[in-house]
Amino acid sequence: MTGIDAAELRRRVTELLAAHDPATTDRTAFLQARFDAGLAWVHFPAGLGGLDAPRALQAVVDAELEAAGAPDNDPRRIGIGLGMAAPTILRYGTEEQKRRFLRPLWLGEEVWCQLFSEPGAGSDLAALATRAVRDSRGDWVVDGQKVWTSSAHLARWAILIARTDPDVPKHRGITYFVCDMTAPGVEVRPLRQITGEAEFNEVFLTGVRIPDNHRLGEVGDGWRVAQTTLMNERVAIGGGRVPREGGLIGLVAETWRERPELRRHALHQRLLELWAEAEAARLAGERLRQQLVAGHPGPEGSAMKLAFARLNQEISGLEVELLAEDGLLYDDWTMRRPEHVDFAGREAGYRYLRAKGNSIEGGTSEVLLNIVAERVLGLPSEPRTDKDIPWKELAR
Give catalytic residue positions.
233
Confirm if 84 and 233 have CB atoms less than 8 A apart. yes
Alpha-carbon distance of 196 to 270, in angstroms, equals 29
Supply the minimum distance, in Å, between the C-beta of residue 64 and other proteins.
20
Tell me which of 1, 18, 23, 294 binds other proteins, using CB under 8 A: 294
Q: Does 284 bind other proteins (CB under 8 A)?
A: yes
Kindly calculate the radius of gyration of the chain based on its CA atoms and give it in whole angstroms. Answer: 23
Which of these segments, 33-41, 176-184, 213-221, 303-311, binds other proteins (CB under 8 A)?
303-311
Q: Does 281 bind other proteins (CB under 8 A)?
A: yes
Supply the minimum distance, in Å, between the C-beta of residue 37 and other proteins.
30
Q: What angle do CA 119, 90, 240 make, to 5 degrees?
A: 80
Q: Does 265 bind other proteins (CB under 8 A)?
A: yes
Q: Does 335 bind other proteins (CB under 8 A)?
A: no
Q: Does 276 bind other proteins (CB under 8 A)?
A: yes
Alpha-carbon distance of 133 to 228, in angstroms, equals 24
Alpha-carbon distance of 189 to 196, in angstroms, equals 15
Q: Which parts of 195-254 interact with other proteins (CB under 8 A)?
A: 253
Which of these segments, 88-96, 142-150, 219-227, 275-283, binds other proteins (CB under 8 A)?
275-283
Q: Does 268 bind other proteins (CB under 8 A)?
A: yes
Q: Does 303 bind other proteins (CB under 8 A)?
A: yes
Confirm if 43 and 50 have CB atoms less than 8 A apart. yes
Tell me which of 137, 257, 387, 396 binds other proteins, using CB under 8 A: 257
- Of 134 and 263, the one with the shorter C-beta distance to other proteins is 263
Which of these segments, 7-15, 81-89, 169-177, 258-266, binds other proteins (CB under 8 A)?
258-266
Supply the minimum distance, in Å, between the C-beta of residue 272 and other proteins.
4
Residues that bind other proteins (rule: CB under 8 A) add up to a total of 43
Q: Which parts of 365-384 interact with other proteins (CB under 8 A)?
A: 366, 369-370, 372-374, 376-383
Q: Does 275 bind other proteins (CB under 8 A)?
A: yes
Tell me which of 46, 133, 283, 344 binds other proteins, using CB under 8 A: 283
Tell me which of 291, 317, 327, 389 binds other proteins, using CB under 8 A: 291
- Of 3 and 260, the one with the shorter C-beta distance to other proteins is 260
Q: Does 29 bind other proteins (CB under 8 A)?
A: no
| Residues in touch with other proteins (CB under 8 A) | 253, 256-257, 260, 263-265, 268-269, 271-273, 275-277, 279-281, 283-284, 286-287, 290-291, 294, 300, 303, 306-307, 366, 369-370, 372-374, 376-383
